[in-house]
Structure 1
Amino acid sequence: MWRGAVLLRVGTFVFATVGLLLHQSEYQRPWLGWLVLGVMAGWTVLTACAYSRESGRQARIVLVDVLLTSVLIGLSALVLDRAYLETTSPLVTTVWAASCIVAAAVHGGQTGGVLAGGLVALVSFLVRGYFNTDIARDTVMLVAVGFVIGWASVTAKRSAAQLHRALRAQAATAERERLARSIHDGVLQVLARVRRRGAELGGEAAELARLAGEQEVALRSLVSAAPPESTEDGEVDLGPQLQVLATPRVQVSVPATAVRLPASTAVELVAIAREALSNADKHAGPEARAWVLLEDLGDDVVLSVRDDGPGIPEGRLAEAEAEGRMGVAQSIRGRVTDLGGSLALLTAPGDGVEWEVRVRRERQTARRGGE
């Protein structure tokens, strides 16, 4: 679209040059008209070079483009006399003035295009000093061009971003599959053999077998999980990030469909799950099992972490916080508070522990907008 804006500017400059040659005899100050055309020529060359490079497509250059174009339109009041301005004959800049609107729309979307079109239309109206059907038509056309091209620019950028993400995900998936084949043929087979042989030998070898089995499950979960993808507004699928937490003693269950949340929120929820599992590993005993469940309820996303350990005695969390052990207070409660969610703890002696974190999607959208 930037190349199109450059071509439009060059083409409209040629049109403005022809218009000046045809109407210069009607100008009050033809020399000033040629001076305006010279500035237009120089600015056309500068913007063509700038807009042809990624580094030149900056907001300040587009802003100067719109302001300079408005000034050149205003100079038409000095080049032309009142009798000429009261006719339908074109100003000195003619359709060249519309090229800055296209540049503003390509860079700033609908808002930039509409603002630039409105400013150019306003300056043109002030130069002529009256308002009629022709000026009303030109105003609508300028604003409409800015809006439509801005909308097309935003749509094109989104499409390009989606294509880039799709290609990146395809490449990541292909690389993950290649690594998975290599790992399956090497590391996983060795870990499986160590696990079987250690279990047969018993004793200390049995402990090594258990550790090898845990790493085998964790590695299988890692290579089988889908690669993380993010949308244009920074949302990711939380499911694959939780699946890598699976071990022989930890079972992870996530929906078959993607559960998309802002990337920062997903990181915090995974950290909460890790802390809850760490607490279960420390306090529930070596034989305890744990379950991680993710539910997508539409407006709410619920993350549950449960174990079948001995549970937490009443008042133990308050004692741990008083002793300076801030794992639950900061790693779990603090994170949930920052997310604007709710936290429920279900436990009783002998009944295990269940953490339930509930986060509302509306709050996450508002939080991301505030940031």
Structure 2
Amino acid sequence: MQKSDATTPLWSSVAILRLVTFGFAVAAVIVHHDQYQRPTLGWVVLGLIAVWTAFTVTAYLLKFGRRVAVVWTDVAVTCALMYTSVWILSPQQMDEIAPLITTVWASEPPIAAAVLNGRTAGVLAGIAVAIATGFSRGALTTDVTRDAVLLMGSGFVVGLASVTARRAQERMAQAARAEAATAERERLARSIHDSVLQVLARVRKRGNELGGEAAELARLAGEQEVALRSLVAAAPPESTADGTADLGPRLQVMATGTVQVSVPGTPVQLPESIVTELTSLVSEALLNVVKHAGDGANAWVLLEDLGDEVVISVRDDGAGIQAGRLDQAASDGRMGVARSIRGRVADLGGTITLETAPGAGTEWEIRIPREPDKKGRHKVGGAR
């Protein structure tokens, strides 16, 4: 299914404007041709205006003209036809500020440029047409200045409307995708609850009743039950149009019977690449808890959005790390923590601190700023 264009009504308005203003051009030639110094040339130019009007109206309505090349060719052709007024109008008409051969027909290109590329393009096209008007008149008059202001102003306003329409369309599409994903997730959650979760709950209960090796199976079943419930409850991860994603759901799915995850109630939108890096980083930290914290150790993951930076804390109540152990591991060539955790944080331009002591558990605190540093390293919200 082809995606609809939010600016289609604006393009229809551009086509209507061109037709209406063409009528003004025809009326101007009919009224003033007796005073033209070259009336025949005036009718020839009017014929060219009619041909170009037919082309641009068709091109904008049928979408094949909604391109930079066509729109800026429209600007150039309009300015060129306007300048023919120098040879068509008599000196007296020029002195009396009679309407140029194009009249208000020349006001359409800045509108088209604004609809296509926004405010800046609309203003630039307005400036181009205003300059052509000044050259055609041969002087910077009050009328030329007024036309310039109107042309640039209309380009700015229509460009703003165009950008707003596109943003609104994308937000509606994103909301529709989120609603569809949520509905599908709820359907799957009901199905999983009626099958897998009930089986895991029964295995956990029966294993605890039997004891022995069955109790270990019960514990594992319980952990998987908690993890599956967290996965079902978490919001579906989705990237937005600007390439960002919510970090919260990516961390929530890591919750198990021994890992608790706490995230803000509002989305923590970060670039997709950063979300991937931070998710891998937290996963590596939790893997270290399993490997080194000892049996029965619990872990807590806390995500905070402080506005100018994002803070992630990974804490456990395990055996802790002895002083100098990480440095010794690095010197022995075992670079797991240095590369997987500290290396990722350094690449993101953030900072990481470690608080630990033997028997007191371990806590990593990772801070990733949103603004790039002086070296231009990639950070949250920045660019590589």
- TM-score, normalization: structure 2? 0.88
2:122 equivalent in structure 1: 113
Partner secondary structure for residue 173 of structure 2: helix
Give the whole-Å Cα distance in 2 for the aligned partners of 1:235 and 1:75: 51
1:210 maps to amino acid: R
> Matches of residues 349-368 of structure 1 in structure 2 within 5 Å?
349-363=358-372, 368=381
2:6 equivalent in structure 1: none
Deviation at 1:369, TM superposition (A): 5.3
1:180 equivalent in structure 2: 189
Greater mean deviation of Cα atoms: 359-368 or 199-208:
359-368
Give the whole-Å Cα distance in 2 for the aligned partners of 1:186 and 1:206: 22
1:72 equivalent in structure 2: 81
1:61 equivalent in structure 2: 70
Give the whole-Å Cα distance in 2 for the aligned partners of 1:275 and 1:66: 57
Greater mean deviation of Cα atoms: 108-117 or 129-138:
129-138
Give the whole-Å Cα distance in 2 for the aligned partners of 1:53 and 1:356: 56
The CA deviation string for residues 174-217 of structure 1, in whole angstroms up to 9 with x for no partner, is 22111111111112112212222233334443333333222211
1:91 equivalent in structure 2: 100
Partner secondary structure for residue 252 of structure 1: strand
1:311 maps to amino acid: G
The CA deviation string for residues 212-233 of structure 1, in whole angstroms up to 9 with x for no partner, is 2222111111111123455554
Partner secondary structure for residue 356 of structure 1: strand
Partner secondary structure for residue 329 of structure 2: helix
Q: Say if 1:26 and 1:368 are closer, same or farther in 2 by CA, change over 3 A.
A: farther
The CA deviation string for residues 92-117 of structure 1, in whole angstroms up to 9 with x for no partner, is 11112111111111112111111111
* 246, 259, 273: which one aligns with 1:237: 246
The CA deviation string for residues 249-279 of structure 1, in whole angstroms up to 9 with x for no partner, is 1001112233333333222222211111111
Structure 2 gap segments, 5+ residues each: 1-9
Percent identity over paired residues = 58
1:191 equivalent in structure 2: 200
* 315, 318, 325: which one aligns with 1:309: 318
Give the whole-Å Cα distance in 2 for the aligned partners of 1:366 and 1:189: 44
Partner secondary structure for residue 320 of structure 2: coil
Give the whole-Å Cα distance in 1 for the aligned partners of 2:128 and 2:112: 14
Give the whole-Å Cα distance in 1 for the aligned partners of 2:47 and 2:340: 66
1:102 equivalent in structure 2: 111
Q: Say if 1:127 and 1:215 are closer, same or farther in 2 by CA, change over 3 A.
A: same
* Structure that is richer in helix per residue: 1
Q: Say if 1:331 and 1:41 are closer, same or farther in 2 by CA, change over 3 A.
A: farther
1:281 equivalent in structure 2: 290
Q: Say if 1:73 and 1:204 are closer, same or farther in 2 by CA, change over 3 A.
A: farther
2:216 equivalent in structure 1: 207
1:27 to 2:36 alignment: yes
* 322, 327, 330: which one aligns with 2:339: 330
1:261 equivalent in structure 2: 270
Give the whole-Å Cα distance in 1 for the aligned partners of 2:123 and 2:173: 29
- TM-score, normalization: structure 1? 0.91
Asked if structure 2 preserves the Cα contact closer than 8 Å seen for 1:284 and 1:309, the reply is: yes
Structure 1 gap segments, 5+ residues each: none
**How many residues get paired?**
371
Asked if structure 1 preserves the Cα contact closer than 8 Å seen for 2:369 and 2:379, the reply is: no
CA RMSD of aligned residues (A): 2.4
2:4 equivalent in structure 1: none
Asked if structure 2 preserves the Cα contact closer than 8 Å seen for 1:313 and 1:348, the reply is: yes
Give the whole-Å Cα distance in 1 for the aligned partners of 2:382 and 2:12: 33
Deviation at 1:49, TM superposition (A): 3.2
> Matches of residues 118-133 of structure 1 in structure 2 within 5 Å?
118-133=127-142
